[in-house]
Amino acid sequence: MTYESMLRARLAGETNLVARTGGRLKFALVYPNLYRVGMSNLGVHIIYALLNSSTGVMCERFFLPEIDTQPLSMETLSPLNRFQVVGFAVSFEPDYFNVVKMLRLSKIPLLSTKRTDFDPIIVAGGCCATFNPAPLSKIVDAFVVGEGEEILPPLIDALLATEGLPRLKRLEILSQVEGVYVPAFPKKTSRRWVKNLDLQPAHTTIVTDDAEFDMYLIETARGCGRHCRFCMAGYCFRKPRNRSLDVLKAEIRDAKPFGKKLGLMGAAISDYPQIDALCDFILGEGLTMSVASFRADSVTQTLVDALVASGQKTLTIAPEVGSDKMRAVVNKGITEAHVFNAVELGLRAGIKNFRLYFMVGLPFEELSDVAAIADLTLRLKKFSGGRLTLSVNPFVPKPFTPFQRVPFAGKKYLDAAIKLLRKNLRGVDMISESVRSATVQAILSRGDEKLSDVLAISETEADFRRNFKSAALDENFYLGARSFDLPLPWDVLDQGFTDSYLVDEFNRARELKSTVRCFDGCRRCGVCS
């Protein structure tokens, strides 16, 4: 099957719920990974519908081709370089390599300074653009900082208003749009976010069976107020906001004709205030459901029973750490008792398989804390009597978190930690992310603009490692501790909270002090001021 016939077959298998009226501004929405992955990303659905509802815009989708060929649009099989604007949705650092590959395959100059008035304007949004644009700053022309529903309408207006102007003049005008960061005209850029989720629908807009998660996705909430100190999403998507139950019920009714399992999306589904009523409504409508994640301290029997009734065979729990000390460090907000209670709820519902997520290499961690992970796992295995699968990932420091300045643990320690777990957990299935891959992610996560030159010639992780070494960049700068006195590459962005707040949270972690979750009237971080 040719690439073109593959795209036609996929398009024929879709039910598109978006009315595309067309317009003079041709906008390519690009997810820099495979179709099956991209169509499981709710952000793609949201932005696609938003753009095609904009007067004067015609949006088409692109995904990374399975073969080494020029990317073509899903809708009309048009090449990427025929579009006036190319917008990448970048959620994960490893996809940076795919951004480079897709631009190269499309014969679009990789560096912004090499593009002419006849080349597309390259835009990037998503988590990575929101927390650190620096590594892509020589490749991407403009970054959407925050939530697209707020930023894209004025950005589209500016793009339409500047048609025909020289490229640099257009970028200068785009830099004046609130929430848009343009590296060629750098200025402090504030994150924009949706205040009332009920006014912004967020659900599947193109139904397909050919997706990683064969579900109809519905977002219940956005943001998180739990203050887990390792979690970038918890800080970059503050404040926590919930959709009303009535709005969710309406979206569920709209989804019913498609007969798909509902995928409830949110930072922690069990934190939704009316989660039991929502579960009862879904089952009452004759539908099934799955959840993106839940918290061990807020999961309910009703939620677990609904998952089992929906055919779920494995319960996933993320204790993250194994010792009381490390629970205080990361401020996860759960206790060992919460974890055992979540397992017990699963057992009552008939679940026998459990997956546990942990991290190693966190600040202030010692190998004795890693040993505590093994101890907790073995006690949970004995308690459950079922099958346990352990997923262990190296901790990667992220910008705009209290741990943004801590060093990456490094290969020697991480290898020792994973070896210790494997030795103590014989008989327990265990998977772990490659330390080598985590190292590359750590470099990219806190990278500066110098990495753009390396990325521009790197289409794989192996390319990047080789080119990084050839560029004679200081690995310790990217992986080591960052002084509290030195500026950070992402200081050009304003998330709504101060650096002093993050420093205070880091100090609380060192002192093993907890921080309570967000509450009405709270003014601690500054986002709600």
What SS3 class is residue 133? coil
Q: Does residue 293 sit within a domain?
A: yes
Query: Does residue 169 share a domain with residue 22?
Result: yes
CA–CA distance from 7 to each of 89, 95, 303, 516 (Å)?
20, 21, 38, 49
Q: Does residue 523 sit within a domain?
A: no
Q: At what angle do helices 336-348 and 301-309 cross, to 10 degrees?
A: 40
Query: Does residue 250 share a domain with residue 381?
Result: yes
Domain boundary among 129, 158, 190: 190
Query: Does residue 118 share a domain with residue 232?
Result: no
Query: Does residue 330 share a domain with residue 369?
Result: yes
What SS3 class is residue 462? helix
Query: Does residue 383 share a domain with residue 332?
Result: yes
Q: Does residue 288 sit within a domain?
A: yes
Tokens describing residue 116: 């002419």
Would you state the pLDDT for residue 238?
Answer: 86
In the Cβ-directed half-sphere of 197, how many Cα atoms lie within 13 Å? 23
Q: Does residue 483 sit within a domain?
A: no
CATH number at residue 134: 3.40.50.280
Could you tell me the residue range of the domain that residue 32 belongs to? Answer: 3-190
Report how far residue 89's alpha carbon sits from residue 38's, in angstroms, rounded to the nearest whole number. 9
Tokens describing residue 427: 């008989």
Query: Does residue 160 share a domain with residue 43?
Result: yes
Report how far residue 126's alpha carbon sits from residue 123's, in angstroms, rounded to the nearest whole number. 11
Query: Does residue 183 share a domain with residue 226?
Result: no
CATH number at residue 323: 3.80.30.20
Query: Does residue 147 share a domain with residue 240?
Result: no
- Please tell me the total count of domains within the chain: 2
492-498-501 Cα angle (round to 5): 140
Q: Does residue 110 sit within a domain?
A: yes
136 CB-near residues (< 8 Å, 6+ apart): 90, 96, 99, 124, 128, 129, 143, 452, 455
Q: Does residue 490 sit within a domain?
A: no
- Sign of the Cα pseudo-torsion (110, 115, 118, 122, in order): positive
Query: Does residue 75 share a domain with residue 39?
Result: yes
Query: Does residue 89 share a domain with residue 175?
Result: yes
Please give the sequence-ordered ranges of beta strands (E in DSSP) within 490-529, or none if there are none: 493-494
pLDDT tens per residue, the chain (529 residues)? 899 999 999 999 999 999 877 799 999 999 999 999 999 999 999 999 999 999 899 999 999 999 999 999 999 999 999 999 999 999 999 999 999 999 999 999 999 999 999 999 999 999 988 899 999 999 999 999 999 999 999 999 999 999 999 999 999 999 999 999 999 999 999 999 999 999 999 999 999 999 999 999 999 999 998 999 999 888 888 889 999 999 999 999 999 999 999 999 998 899 999 999 999 999 999 999 999 888 999 999 999 999 999 999 999 999 999 999 999 999 999 999 999 999 999 999 999 999 999 999 999 999 999 999 999 999 999 999 989 999 999 999 999 999 999 999 999 999 999 999 999 998 899 999 999 999 999 999 999 999 999 999 999 999 999 999 999 999 999 999 999 999 999 999 999 988 899 999 999 999 999 999 888 888 888 888 7
Query: Does residue 348 share a domain with residue 262?
Result: yes
Long-range contacts of range 161-166, CB-CB < 8 Å, 24 or more positions apart?
A: 163/24, 163/25, 163/84, 166/117
Would you state the pLDDT for residue 519?
Answer: 86
Query: Does residue 219 share a domain with residue 157?
Result: no
Is residue 352 within 8 Å of residue 252, measured between CB atoms?
no
Q: Does residue 14 sit within a domain?
A: yes
Would you state the pLDDT for residue 521?
Answer: 84
Comparing CA positions, the residue from 18, 138, 117, 125 lying closest to residue 74 is 18
Report how far residue 350's alpha carbon sits from residue 505's, in angstroms, rounded to the nearest whole number. 40
Q: Does residue 113 sit within a domain?
A: yes
